[in-house]
Amino acid sequence: MRGGRQASSIGLVILSLSVANPVIAMRCQGGLTANGDTPEQVLQKCGAPASRVIELPQRRGGHLIEGAVRVERWVYGPRHGARYPLRFVAGKRVDERLELSP
């Protein structure tokens, strides 16, 4: 019984790793992108994204909310059946994912 539970736990770990696809670096013709890269560095390495959304810092009563920053969400792809959403906060890349197309 114990061996079956252990195998089941290992299977769940493998499944969770295959579903959550965090990407540390994205390979482009101009090199690898990494967390901390600026939008300009990513543009230089990868060219223009397929889509780009800019969220300006929030304001209240005409004044910036303390700690509010600009957020950019870019998407590259589809490339070889995958999309690569990137997020920049305050001018630095903070994360990237890999989304596989069904």
Residue written as token pair 């059946």? 81
Whether the per-residue pLDDT at 89 is higher than 70: the answer is: yes
Q: How confident is the model at residue 61 (pLDDT cuts 50, 70, 90)?
A: confident
Based on its alpha-carbon atoms, the radius of gyration of the chain, rounded to whole angstroms, reads: 18
What does pTM read for this prediction?
A: 0.70
Mean pLDDT of 39-62: 93
Distance CA(88)–CA(27), nearest Å, equals: 17
